[in-house]
Structure 1
Amino acid sequence: MITRRGMMAGLLAGAALPVWAEGIDRSPRPMPRPAGGKGAAASAGGAVKDAEALVAAAKLGGSVGFIVLDAATGAVLEARDAAKALPPASVAKTVTSLFALERLGAGHRYATRVLATGPVEAGTLRGDLVLLGGGDPTLQTDQLGDLVARLAKAGLKRVEGRFLAADGALPRMEAIAEDQPVQVGYNPALCGLNLNFNRVYFEWKKAGGDWAVSMDARGERFVPAVDLARMQVVRRETPLFTYKRNRDHEDWTVASGALGKGGSRWLPVRQPGLYTAEVFQTLARAQGIALPAPEMVAAAPAGTEIGRVESDALPEVLREMLKFSTNITAECNGLAASGADSLAASGAAMTDWVDRTFGVTARFVDHSGLGGASRISAQDMAAILLAAHRQGRGLKPILRDVGMKDDKGAVIKGHPVKVVAKSGTLNFVSALAGHISPPGGREMIFAIFTGDPARRDAVPVAAREHPEGVEAWIKRSRRLQGQLISRWAGVWG
């Protein structure tokens, strides 16, 4: 029996529940062309079912819109409510990828730099040390630790002046979306200086009649403790978490009723520039470099570069973003591409770019798809993918191979049909769009949007990490997606 405490503990642990996994959840093998012709597909029991029967069997409510195109000719092979605009969820990241590739270029790399405003003499910097963020959404603790190690090896021991952290490369914002629970790690703050996807690692262990808790910024080789984010266990059942931001630290409380014997999860930080600077200072101290307390600035003073960390080239950054669906990576790329001073303005800039570039009408309120107010239709999403494919914009090579799966959700190894796509999930919203490539057959481009926005909006904010009924709904939606892809591959492949 699943108890209320057990459910809370699961939420606290931040477990990767199957419903939130990316890709097609359940999908039968493509079947041979049915005797009924292009308007029918065979079910598992052998009966002929068309797309409408599959949609009806899914019992999703809300709206289901889809379209599949011949990639060579652009001809519509099958469509249903394809003009209906629905939330794209993380499928919006495909558009963000195209936007960033055009505006920033495939050779773009984000750089986090260390500047010195004076000379280093006998191990002492006679001036300020500046940690200058370049908007890198992928910077990790181990990279920062290696950067500090290079500075120590070069002989730096102490700083006579200030330790400045400059985060103005991107606008500061405390969260991507305002309608999410406070504890969800997929909705962090962002700015021009980011670390660990702007999350802190919270761990707890039962210690007698109490709990021992810790907060750190762990990597694989460095595990610096974090003082910015502080946790207090409070004897209560609900709410699961509370959060309060202060000038120089962030106070969390957690319900004791959810802790059990021990566990861990990542929590968002709301002052990412200060978080990154504190971790840098801690890593420096561990390697013999004494730094004063960090001071946050928007713009860096002029100085000489004495160290840097660069991200991978943009296509690889985007490939990882599409694979793991990291929201902060999408937002940083979109903001860097637009140069806008707010997320709303940046989403509007991408909306205008889509209209001018592809001639379709959409609305993007952000670049990750986390905002539920974004809208695009299946036919417009497919039109973007088709144009990008024909124009060689570099999207298809970085899409993830989502595979074909059996009825237990396992990947069918060696399956002849290749599906590369981006999936997206919000509460009572599920989307999938990409390419179907049967062996020796015609390539297809598709978009499938299912959503019940009214039901999503009715969920209280505090319950949006895992509301009642959403897991079963998402599973049914993903099963429908797999059935449709199977049908199309079998009939037109």
Structure 2
Amino acid sequence: MPHHPPRSPRRALAALAAVGAMLAAGCAGEAVSVGPDRAAAASSAEAPGTRLTTPVLSARRAPELLRAAITGQRLHDALTPLLAEAPPSSCLVVSAGGRVLLEKDPDTPVVPASTLKLLTGVAALETLDPGSHLTTTVQARQAPRDGVIDGDLYLIGGGDPLLTTDGYKVTFENPGQLSNDFGQLADRIAAAGVREIRGGIVGDESRYDQERWIPTWPQRYQREGYVGPLSALMVNDGSTGLSLAPNEPARFRRPGEPALLAAETLRTLLEDRGVRVAGAPSIGSAPAGATVIATLESPPVWDLVGEMIADSDNTTAELLVKELGVATRGEGTTRAGLDAIATELAQLGLPAAGIELRDGSGLDPQDRVTCSLLVAALDRAGPDSVLGRSLPVAGRSGTLRKRMRDTPAEGRVRAKTGTLAEVNALAGFVETDSGATLTFAYVINGPDQPRGLLPLDELATALVTAPGGPPVEHLAPRPVGT
């Protein structure tokens, strides 16, 4: 859906009032040239015994515009006290059906935090095949003979960000978070008849580059577990402490070498299934023409995007960026992927002026987007799209499951959260008491965050309960009188 230029509700009401005044003064005299529909109405008015109750050029001839203007004014009046508390470096846009109803600095670039994942999701769903999978593959130089692989077994990463074992799943804040059981791959190798590997397990992460961390990220992200060390071959987000006991919770975890840890984890899982592995795990590249022994597909791309949005998974976001680089430029790099996002936003006609992308997760404090762009991206997708259905639901799911409980917003606000040291953000959809669906983005920047998350939740709740415009049928042209 194209982005409409911002329109102040006060300006819209003033324009409608001016049109009404003009019509009241001028419609009684001279004839007006009109199109076929208007001509039919005019001829009806000229028939004996009939008259137009509503002038041809009345504001009532555009009831949707009139209703939007009234709704915008009522929203403005209801939300002004909340906006007065927002720091200067913040932005807000509220729209209905693509028409802006309320705005504050809509085109000012701000730090978006994790609301940036909305743009990564849009680009991934538009550029990649949403129903496709990222496949982890196991190969050997030759097919097994009598259950024996006479050499190394190659574990080739396909970019799946959700490979996990039971020992890691227990750490999820959301117990229902989507994951992909890495043990299935060991099951399939054993099911292929492999009983012995006379070499070792070699981890191949060559699909993407080996840049583990975005250079501009704060160092604390590495030790605090915000994101894993990025690789095309990752199990358990590249965490140590699990590779020798994958299904046991690890007391101490830290970022490690993801491809090597994945190879060691597979070795452990195979031995647990009675498959002997003679050699040590290592990192390398699979030889050309090797034989496929087993594969494990990721959930489809639309589910990867959904998991990224619902649980604000930074690792998933960054691996999707690298996959976008592979798809558009043949380069599994962050830079290529970010260029793909910017290109896709431009091709979709979204208002991307002034944005700066350093990553795809929103972790980087140098990222910049606008509220106009966030709302335009949401409006284009719509609440019933993959993106819209993936959004956390207030009081019920994802990163909003503990927020806005027992308020009018519970179950009626679906939005992406965003939080950094000096950033709080919320962007998504609201189902209002009046039956409308509103799109909104509210991003607060600055050290003086007013009362933590409350302004965001208060705004979302106010949108649910804010008075809407009168029904369209009350604003439409009146029937022809007699």
Question: Matched residues in 2 for 1:150 and 1:39: separation?
Answer: 60
**Other structure's SS at 1:358 match:** coil
Report the counterpart of residue 223 of structure 1 in structure 2.
248
- 1:402, CA displacement in angstroms? 2.5
Aligned amino acid, residue 248 of structure 2: V
Question: Matched residues in 1 for 2:347 and 2:404: separation?
Answer: 41
Question: Matched residues in 2 for 1:334 and 1:108: separation?
Answer: 16
Report the counterpart of residue 396 of structure 1 in structure 2.
388
Report the counterpart of residue 204 of structure 2 in structure 1.
166
Deviations 1:153-208 (A, max 9, x none): 443222234532211112212224532314121132111101112223xxxxxxxx
Question: Matched residues in 2 for 1:355 and 1:450: separation?
Answer: 25
Question: Matched residues in 1 for 2:254 and 2:394: separation?
Answer: 28
**Other structure's SS at 1:401 match:** coil
**Other structure's SS at 1:39 match:** helix
Deviations 1:334-392 (A, max 9, x none): 211232443233223312321222332222111111111111111121112112229x7
**Other structure's SS at 1:400 match:** coil
Question: Does structure 1 retain, via aligned residues, the 8 Å contact 2:310–2:392?
Answer: yes
**Other structure's SS at 2:419 match:** strand
- Mapping 1:307-322, distance limit 5 Å: 307-322=294-309
Report the counterpart of residue 429 of structure 2 in structure 1.
435
Which deviates further from its counterpart, 170-179 or 126-135?
A: 170-179
- 1:483, CA displacement in angstroms? 1.9
Report the counterpart of residue 53 of structure 2 in structure 1.
none
Q: Does 1:156 align with 2:194?
A: yes
Q: How many residues align?
A: 372
Q: Does 1:337 align with 2:330?
A: no
Question: Matched residues in 2 for 1:478 and 1:416: separation?
Answer: 16
| Structure 1, unpaired ranges of 5+ | 1-32, 42-49, 201-214, 226-263, 456-472
Report the counterpart of residue 363 of structure 2 in structure 1.
370
Calculate the aligned-residue CA RMSD, in Å: 3.0
**Other structure's SS at 2:457 match:** helix
Report the counterpart of residue 68 of structure 1 in structure 2.
94
TM-score (norm 2): 0.70
Question: Does structure 1 retain, via aligned residues, the 8 Å contact 2:395–2:403?
Answer: no
Question: Does structure 1 retain, via aligned residues, the 8 Å contact 2:150–2:198?
Answer: yes
Question: Matched residues in 1 for 2:433 and 2:287: separation?
Answer: 55
Aligned amino acid, residue 128 of structure 1: D
In 2 relative to 1, CA 367–145 (structure 1 residues): closer, same or farther, beyond 3 Å?
A: same
- Mapping 1:110-189, distance limit 5 Å: 110-142=134-166, 143-176=181-214, 178-181=217-220, 182-189=222-229
Say which structure, 1 or 2, has more relative contact order (CA 8 Å, 6+ apart). 1
Report the counterpart of residue 337 of structure 2 in structure 1.
346
Question: Does structure 1 retain, via aligned residues, the 8 Å contact 2:107–2:371?
Answer: yes
Question: Matched residues in 1 for 2:366 and 2:286: separation?
Answer: 33
**Other structure's SS at 2:163 match:** coil
- Mapping 1:180-199, distance limit 5 Å: 180-181=219-220, 182-199=222-239
Question: Does structure 1 retain, via aligned residues, the 8 Å contact 2:106–2:372?
Answer: yes
Question: Does structure 2 retain, via aligned residues, the 8 Å contact 1:141–1:217?
Answer: no
Question: Does structure 1 retain, via aligned residues, the 8 Å contact 2:118–2:374?
Answer: no
- Mapping 1:225-374, distance limit 5 Å: 264=251, 266-269=253-256, 271-291=257-277, 292-339=279-326, 340-360=331-351, 361=353, 362-374=355-367
**Other structure's SS at 1:485 match:** helix
In 2 relative to 1, CA 68–98 (structure 1 residues): closer, same or farther, beyond 3 Å?
A: same
Question: Matched residues in 2 for 1:332 and 1:199: separation?
Answer: 16
Question: Does structure 2 retain, via aligned residues, the 8 Å contact 1:103–1:337?
Answer: yes
Question: Matched residues in 2 for 1:189 and 1:365: separation?
Answer: 16
TM-score (norm 1): 0.68
- 1:426, CA displacement in angstroms? 1.0
Question: Matched residues in 1 for 2:410 and 2:162: separation?
Answer: 34
In 2 relative to 1, CA 94–298 (structure 1 residues): closer, same or farther, beyond 3 Å?
A: farther
Residue in structure 2 matching 1:39, options 58, 76, 81: 76
Q: Per residue, is there more helix in 1 or in 2?
A: 2
Question: Does structure 2 retain, via aligned residues, the 8 Å contact 1:224–1:282?
Answer: no
- 1:489, CA displacement in angstroms? 2.6
- Mapping 1:196-207, distance limit 5 Å: 196-200=236-240
**Other structure's SS at 2:282 match:** strand
Q: Give identity over the alignment, percent.
A: 28
Question: Matched residues in 1 for 2:409 and 2:85: separation?
Answer: 26
- 1:265, CA displacement in angstroms? 6.0
Question: Matched residues in 2 for 1:384 and 1:297: separation?
Answer: 41
Report the counterpart of residue 54 of structure 1 in structure 2.
82
Residue in structure 1 matching 2:444, options 421, 446, 450: 450
Question: Matched residues in 2 for 1:438 and 1:425: separation?
Answer: 25
Q: Greater Rg, structure 1 or structure 2?
A: 2
Question: Matched residues in 1 for 2:75 and 2:323: separation?
Answer: 45
In 2 relative to 1, CA 90–265 (structure 1 residues): closer, same or farther, beyond 3 Å?
A: farther
In 2 relative to 1, CA 128–218 (structure 1 residues): closer, same or farther, beyond 3 Å?
A: closer
Report the counterpart of residue 490 of structure 1 in structure 2.
465
**Other structure's SS at 1:179 match:** coil
Question: Does structure 2 retain, via aligned residues, the 8 Å contact 1:382–1:433?
Answer: yes
Report the counterpart of residue 90 of structure 1 in structure 2.
114
Question: Matched residues in 2 for 1:265 and 1:418: separation?
Answer: 40
Q: Does 1:423 align with 2:410?
A: no
Deviations 1:205-228 (A, max 9, x none): xxxxxxxxxx32599x82398xxx
Report the counterpart of residue 474 of structure 2 in structure 1.
none
Question: Matched residues in 2 for 1:347 and 1:288: separation?
Answer: 44
